[in-house]
Structure 1
Amino acid sequence: MTSNRETTIIRIVDMHTAGEPVRIVEAGYPPLAGNTILERRRDAQTRFDHLRTMLMLEPRGHDGMYGVIPTEPCAAGADLAVLFTHQEGYSTMCGHATIAIGRWAIDTGRVARVDGKARFGLEAPCGVIQVDVETDEAGVTRVAFESVESFASALDRTVEVPGRGPVHVDIAFGGAFYAILPASRIGLSLMETPLAELVQAATAINEAIRTGGSIVHPTEPDLGFLYGTILTDDVALGMHGGQPSYNLCIFADGQIDRSPTGSGVTARIALAAAKGEMTVGDSCEIRGVSGEGFIGTLAATSGTGLDAASRVRVAGQAWYSGRSEMIAEPGDRFGAGFTLPRRLADLDTPV
């Protein structure tokens, strides 16, 4: 963190993957303490959360911003390590950001490229992900990653959602936990219902499940929380016949993922494997609200149903959108950012 009379300056590069922003810290963020990536995540939450809010929230960010904080790797097999941030906090995995990091790591020389190709281990809070980067003769760079072990943790679970009554959802892990269901199950159309109504419904499902507090990761307590809800179209992934599937992911405090959600694609394919709808080698394109897609492939699986464990390969492209320095001057009331109030009466205005 560069400081001049307590002025905070953080250098960033902005990218996007399928329209979803990725703000990568390149310089100015202080070193994190901890012997594991999860300890460093907790350190960021405890000591430096004002830097997350500075970068993610208005006036330097917005309610759809997403970020990456590079740190030193801790795990064996990792060449780079990152934390993922958003307007509400910190994620355990992010596929669209991983795709952006793949390109950024090659372009900045952090990972060597041989004959236009590179493969490296990226440590995220959920584990080490293998990332492949390839640049063709036209200079187009494509990135793919293979997920951590992913699985369905609940099938047809009933959730009491205020205003909607009992709603049946599947819960799956793709580096983060998601509730997954077709929009039609709650009387909505993924393609025709106004976006605001879809967001409201998915947010209500998120809140109902989080209030229940019953998401448990089998080995790591820090991963045991619901990240978001994914509303899908009505066609099972294994039955799209080459046509794309569409979904909408709502996470954090009503944040809309513009991309198809890389870890959500992983979770959907792991869920399809658990249901016997996809087998190893099957691929599908999944598109998000921007209309851009990721290609997901079931790379490996073992077991069936809730005992199935899968690895999924997700491929996409990332693009640069800007480079800048984020500055917070001393005395700036919004140095750590701010969020819009629900009502003007809720303003935290000094008297």
Structure 2
Amino acid sequence: MQRVQVIDSHTGGEPTRIVVAGGPDLGNGSMADRRTLLREQFDHFRRAVVNEPRGSDVIVGGLLCPPADPTCEVGVIFFNNADVLHMCGHGTIGLMATLAHLGRMQPGEHRIDTSVGVVRATLHDDGQVTVMNVPSYRYQTDVTLQVPGVGAVTGDVAWGGNWFFLVNDHPERLEADNIPRLLEVTHKIRQALEQQGVTGSDGEVIDHIELFGQSPSPTADSRNFVLCPGGAYDRSPCGTGTSAKLACLHADGKLAPGQVWRQESIIGSVFSGT
């Protein structure tokens, strides 16, 4: 029997499960190589950690490992119910909270090694966490899809640590009581991306779909709904998705350097990004 030690947290409603002991040995290669190794040789471990009966579709796991970059304090590989992930914003916040809970992380700035590069995260005295994500950018703009049962949908393709298709112009109502419909629409959009050959750079699959709309809160700039790989929706505003949104706003000249954007999730939690 293999004993695995985990600590669960949630960030804005979205759960993170950090494996603090008992994970597989992924060797001394790059974090990207270790991510591939986890996917190809230890997928049974991923499934056991986050899928039922011990987990659920919404949990994001993080496997702690020694950093490949000697300037980093810790390495992490994120994964969910469907596959390994490139990066996870809410999961990085959960990681920091977990390490602080264990007494392994003190307030201040820390460097975290991920499969897509080094992420800087600051643990504040009050327990809040600020994440400096990997560089984000818009890859394609005004991409129009023909989505069966929905019609024409236009959006942008952007990288925020994961690949996103971001849609601002749509008729859907972004409210919690409309989640079944939002899941249906975003799933059809993701299928259309695959069927019509729309990808990220190097042909990578766009596995996150993000709808945006107005927030009823006067303190938020926007509300979103994010479909994650595996079919679950993000309860948080999505850290990598918010990074992708900021990149698109900046590319459109709608967000100046240093300007704060407050992104609200479908359940009302908020990330502040700049």
> What's the TM-score once normalised by structure 2's chain length?
0.93
> Which residue of structure 2 lines up, in the alignment, with residue 177 of structure 1?
163
> Which residue of structure 2 lines up, in the alignment, with residue 163 of structure 1?
149
Aligned match for 1:63, one of 57, 60, 68: 57
Q: Over residues 28-50 of structure 1, what are the superposed CA-to-partner deviations in whole Å (9 max), with x where a residue is unaligned?
A: 11210351111101110111111
Work out whether residues 220 and 264 of structure 2, in 8 Å CA contact, stay in contact via their aligned partners in 1: no
| 2:100 matches 1:106 | yes
> Which residue of structure 1 lines up, in the alignment, with residue 180 of structure 2?
196
Q: Provide the rounded CA distance (Å) in 2 between the counterparts of 1:226 and 1:33.
A: 29
Q: Provide the rounded CA distance (Å) in 2 between the counterparts of 1:179 and 1:216.
A: 9
| 2:110 matches 1:130 | no
Q: Provide the rounded CA distance (Å) in 1 between the counterparts of 2:227 and 2:181.
A: 12
Q: 1:255 to 1:234 in 2, by over 3 A?
A: same
Pairs within 5 Å for 1:310-349: none
Q: Provide the rounded CA distance (Å) in 2 between the counterparts of 1:206 and 1:186.
A: 15
Q: Which is further off, 192-201 or 16-25?
A: 192-201
* RMSD over equivalenced CA pairs, Å: 2.0
Q: Provide the rounded CA distance (Å) in 1 between the counterparts of 2:176 and 2:132.
A: 33
> Which residue of structure 2 lines up, in the alignment, with residue 39 of structure 1?
33
Q: 1:226 to 1:262 in 2, by over 3 A?
A: same
Work out whether residues 7 and 19 of structure 2, in 8 Å CA contact, stay in contact via their aligned partners in 1: yes
> What's the TM-score once normalised by structure 1's chain length?
0.73
Q: Which is further off, 74-83 or 278-287?
A: 74-83
Q: Over residues 195-251 of structure 1, what are the superposed CA-to-partner deviations in whole Å (9 max), with x where a residue is unaligned?
A: 10011101111121133444233xxx5x9331311111048xxxx985342111001
Q: Secondary structure at the match of 1:120?
A: strand
Q: Secondary structure at the match of 1:84?
A: strand
Q: 1:243 to 1:260 in 2, by over 3 A?
A: closer
> Which residue of structure 2 lines up, in the alignment, with residue 120 of structure 1?
110
> Which residue of structure 1 lines up, in the alignment, with residue 21 of structure 2?
27
> Which residue of structure 1 lines up, in the alignment, with residue 207 of structure 2?
227
Which ranges in structure 2 are unaligned for 5 or more consecutive residues? none
Q: Provide the rounded CA distance (Å) in 2 between the counterparts of 1:192 and 1:147.
A: 28
How far did 1:92 drift? Answer: 0.6
What amino acid is aligned across from residue 265 of structure 1 in structure 2? T
Number of residue-to-residue matches in the alignment? 273
Work out whether residues 172 and 270 of structure 1, in 8 Å CA contact, stay in contact via their aligned partners in 2: yes
Q: Over residues 112-156 of structure 1, what are the superposed CA-to-partner deviations in whole Å (9 max), with x where a residue is unaligned?
A: x3xxx3211111112101110112xxxx30100111111111111
Q: Secondary structure at the match of 2:149?
A: coil
Q: 1:166 to 1:98 in 2, by over 3 A?
A: same
Q: Over residues 129-187 of structure 1, what are the superposed CA-to-partner deviations in whole Å (9 max), with x where a residue is unaligned?
A: 1110112xxxx3010011111111111101122222321111111111111113xx342
| 2:251 matches 1:257 | no
Q: Provide the rounded CA distance (Å) in 2 between the counterparts of 1:191 and 1:15.
A: 25
Larger Rg: 1
Q: Secondary structure at the match of 2:9?
A: strand
Point out 4+ residue stretches in structure 1 off by more than 4 angstroms: none
Q: Provide the rounded CA distance (Å) in 2 between the counterparts of 1:211 and 1:81.
A: 35
What amino acid is aligned across from residue 209 of structure 1 in structure 2? L
What amino acid is aligned across from residue 95 of structure 1 in structure 2? G
Q: Percent identity?
A: 28
The structure that is strand-richer by fraction is: 1
How far did 1:55 drift? Answer: 1.3
Which ranges in structure 1 are unaligned for 5 or more consecutive residues? 1-6, 298-351
Q: Provide the rounded CA distance (Å) in 1 between the counterparts of 2:195 and 2:11.
A: 31
Aligned match for 2:268, one of 291, 302, 316: 291
Q: Which structure has more RCO (C-alpha within 8 Å, separation ≥ 6)? A: 1
How far did 1:294 drift? Answer: 0.8
Q: Provide the rounded CA distance (Å) in 1 between the counterparts of 2:197 and 2:34.
A: 24
What amino acid is aligned across from residue 43 of structure 2 in structure 1? D
Q: Secondary structure at the match of 1:281?
A: coil
